[in-house]
Amino acid sequence: MARTKKQRSIQRAPNYSGFKPFGVQKPVECEVKLSLEEYESMKLCDYDMLNHEDAANMMKVSRPTFTRIYQSARQKLAKALVEVSVICIEGGHATIDIIWYMCAHCRISFDISGNKTPLCPLCGSGNITENK
Amino acid sequence: MIIAAALSENNLNSPVDVHFSRCNWFGIYNSITKNLDFIVNPGISMDEDAGLKSAEILVSHSVNVAVAGRFSAKVVELFRKANVQMVIPETNTSFLEFINLIKK
Ligand SMILES: [Zn+2]
């Protein structure tokens, strides 16, 4: 029986959709697809410097599942570097844990805790958008 | 409202630092009393959990709003539990520019 993919939790989706190599002569044909959970696993381990156990807890997955996601992320990135690939970041099975709101007037992003009505903490405006 | 911003330098013209856990200084501004303070990031010399230590100190300073370009996962968790709002300004916003956005 096919296993259903569980939702993994990530904190913030990257605000770009990928990378392109530069300095190459021919157009780049091959493409590596990095999922949001793979992106998050690298961010937690190699940018936030968490150990695998803490990172697994953050993403609400088991330790072996985390290791699998992280290994896959590393292999894909290595492949992209060596084989000169475009890297695309795609949705996967992640849910974003935190909603970040934006105030266009103040040009800031911010979070809201609890069920409070979202208002800009600086100018008090309710004219804000969800930033996904 | 008490605001703590991650800064690279200890002055008002310093840009808000891209990463909460790795900044050199925190600027702490009380929008009611207009009191301004700069403290060295207490987590800067630590390798692991640097951000957590910094976040705890800011919570002990009764900070309501934390400002930085990025917050690490553990810091986000701690701030959400402690009801500290996180704010990410545009890149290269200075501490002064940020303070000036607060509604008078
Ligand atoms: Zn605003």
Which pLDDT value is given to residue B96?
96
Q: Report the C-alpha gap between A103 and A120 in whole angstroms.
A: 6
Task: Compute CA B4 distance to the chain's CA centroid, rounded to the nearest angstrom.
Answer: 4
Q: Would you kindly state where each structural domain of chain B is located, as residue ranges?
A: 2-50+62-85
Percent of chain A with pLDDT over 90: 44
What are the domain boundaries of chain A? 30-97, 98-132
A115: pLDDT strictly greater than 80: no
Give the Cα separation of A43 and A92 in Å (integer).
16
Query: Hey, what CATH topology would domain A30-97 get?
Result: Arc Repressor Mutant, subunit A (1.10.10)
Is the confidence at residue A7, as pLDDT, over 70? Answer: no
The correct CATH number of B2-50+62-85 out of 3.30.70.1400, 3.30.420.130, 3.40.50.11260, 1.10.287.90 is: 3.30.420.130
Residues of A in contact with B86 (CB under 8 A): 110-111
Of all residues in chain A, the percent with pLDDT exceeding 70 is 92
* Global confidence as pTM: 0.77
Give residues with Cβ within 8 angstroms of A26, minimum separation 6: none
* Most B-contacting residue of A45, A57, A113 (CB-CB within 10 A), to test interface: A113
pLDDT by residue for chain B (104 residues), tens digit each? 999 999 999 999 999 998 898 899 999 999 999 999 999 998 877 766 778 889 999 999 999 999 999 888 889 889 999 999 999 998 889 999 999 999 76
Min Cα–Cα distance to chain A from B20, Å: 11
**Is B101 in contact with A110 (Cβ distance < 8 A)?**
no
**How does DSSP assign A20-80, residue by residue?**
---S-SSPP--EEEEEHHHHHHHIIIIIS---HHHHHHHHT--HHHHHHHHHHHHHHHHHH
Task: Indicate the pLDDT class of residue A41, thresholds 50, 70 and 90.
Answer: very high
Of residues A56 and A116, more confidently modeled: A56
